[in-house]
Chains A and B, each alone.
Chain A
Amino acid sequence: MSTIQFVNVSKQYPGASAPAVDNITLQVPEGSIAVLLGPSGCGKTTLLKMVNRLHQPTSGQIFLDGVDIQSIPVNQLRRNIGYVIQQVGLFPHLTIAKNIAVVPELLGWDRQRIRNRVDELLDLVHLPLDFRNRYPAQLSGGQQQRVGLARALAADPKVMLMDEPFGAIDAITRESLQDQLLELQRRLRKTILFVTHDVEEALKLADEIIVLDKGRLVQKDTPCNLLANPASDFVRQLLNTDDRIRQLSLVRVEMVMKPLHPAIQLSPLPQVPVGTDLKRVLSLMLSPAADTVLVTHEGKPIGCITFEELRKVGCLSN
């Protein structure tokens, strides 16, 4: 169970004039983060909740690793999918340890295994072990959301659904949670469907961004391609691509480059000389397998640039 596949999925709420999700076909590859992005009411949550069958599609099919989710008993399906929501939804009458242990308990793990797993997870989301016996009300919002994440990861699901998990959290804590999620993802390689309406968050987290408008899929692409080649005015405006590209053209590579990592494989990477602007770098990154561009001075590599540096430039201008 690890690729998520939507085939002609539509959802029409009773009494609504237009479908909330309109004939969507797409695939989230195994081990990647796909971010659903779009304005409020465009159907992001509806699409997400059809994966764990909190909503039922009006038509179409959803497959997890080729298996139609309708053929899996609903609670079994849900126990195998991590689910994180904006309001966190921790159980206030249970301790943090008990909250994290919910799905393992439903799956009938033995006590020792659950204990060990809880400790492991608290560690994973950078919470002190003595939080075990606290209650959710004794934690800050950011800490609660970490517990929410640990709870969703508890039974090591391959698929995670995250609906604006950091939406209600202050900007600084949000940044750190995003960094942590990326760090976790490098290790755990989950297939993650992530909802946000924060463009920066989408650009930062996504392997691919899925832009929705009024229930329709407008564009599905890597952050880099999306910025360079927005498919429509809607995408252009949503991501504010014109401003970002203009910003990039004003910044030169030596202003943002990172020092070279000794282990980096230099040979196949595109190179640009000092003095090049970042707009040119973005265009080089469009070609596949060029997630890093080398900066050279008199023919020798002296630094490198990844999409992260480009994103931060656009981020600062906003």
Chain B
Amino acid sequence: MVEALIQTLTQSYLYYLNRQSEFWGAVVDHLILAGIAIGIAVLVCVPLGIWTARSRFASLTLMNLVNGLRVIPSLAVLFLIIPYLGLTSTSAIVALTILAMPPVLINTDAAFRTLEPAILEAARGMGMSAFQRMIRVEFPLAVPVILTGIRISAVDVIASATLAAFVGSGGLGIYITRGFALYDYSILFVGAIPVALITLAVEGLLSLLQKTLQPLKI
């Protein structure tokens, strides 16, 4: 059993050695796909989260929409999009972005909703404009909570970016689909193991960033 596993892993390693340039290309594609999806999610959802934290209307509509979206699995989203956007990277990115958005939105909303009223009142009472309050007080206090949302998204998206291979957009998913097609676990591992490692690394990096931005437990 253990012997078989070691043998498979050795084969995986040989497979990798024979196709190093393909492999590293796949890693880069994977990171780009995930990065674009997370980037778009942050750019869209942080402002939306600030809005939902302040507006009852936005909160009712957007939060319900997002909670609804969360129920649909990414694979299903991907297949729903393909008829419109075809077998393209765009389809993959749209599906991954939809996956990435809810945690960022929900955490941003929570971060701004739970800011301490006394702190906001002090900021106002001292004569900060709305913009100064946002830049100097509200946003810095919200960042650690927003980062948690981004971390959750990143983990989901990096794992799910393997789906991109279904629509021919590359990424480490190519080894997983290939491994399935050829009934060869050693090929499948060439995709699965790096995905797991990248996920752990990104999670670690973001935790570290969060700790440096939050010098004290507050």
Contact = CB atoms under 8 A, between A and B. Distances in A.
Interface of A: 52, 54, 74-80, 83, 85, 87-93, 102-103, 106, 135, 137-138, 151, 161
A76 B137 CA distance: 19
B140 to A, nearest CB: 5
A52 B127 CA distance: 9
B132 interface: yes
B124 A78 contact: yes
A106 B128 contact: yes
B60 interface: no
Interface residues of B, number: 22
B119 A54 contact: no
Contacts of A103: 126-127
A89 B129 contact: no
B124 A54 contact: yes
Given A102-B126, A137-B216, A93 B140 contact: yes
A137 B216 CA distance: 8
B216 A135 contact: yes
A285 to B, nearest CB: 37
A135 B215 contact: yes
Interface of B: 116, 118-119, 121-129, 132, 136-137, 140-141, 214-218
B70 to A, nearest CB: 31
Contact of A89 (B119, B136, B217): B119
A305 B65 CA distance: 73
B125 A85 contact: yes
B129 to A, nearest CB: 6
Contacts of B128: 75, 102, 106
Nearest to A98: B136
B127 A91 contact: no
24 contacts: A52-B125, A54-B124, A54-B125, A76-B127, A77-B127, A78-B127, A85-B118, A85-B121, A87-B116, A88-B118, A89-B116, A89-B118, A89-B119, A89-B121, A91-B122, A91-B137, A91-B141, A93-B141, A102-B128, A103-B127, A106-B126, A106-B132, A137-B218, A161-B125
Given A78-B127, A79-B127, A103-B127, A85 B122 contact: yes
Closest 3 CB pairs of A and B: A89-B122, A78-B127, A87-B118
Q: Most A CB atoms within 10 A — which of B122, B129, B132, B140?
A: B122
Contacts of A91: 119, 122-123, 136-137, 141
A78 B218 contact: no
Q: Most B CB atoms within 10 A — which of A92, A93, A102?
A: A93
A78 B122 contact: no
Contacts of A85: 118, 121-122, 125
B126 A78 contact: yes
B161 to A, nearest CB: 34
Contacts of B119: 89-92
B116 to A, nearest CB: 8
Contacts of A52: 125
B218 A75 contact: no
Contacts of B214: 93
Q: Most A CB atoms within 10 A — which of B123, B132, B216?
A: B216
B127 A106 contact: yes
B126 A138 contact: no
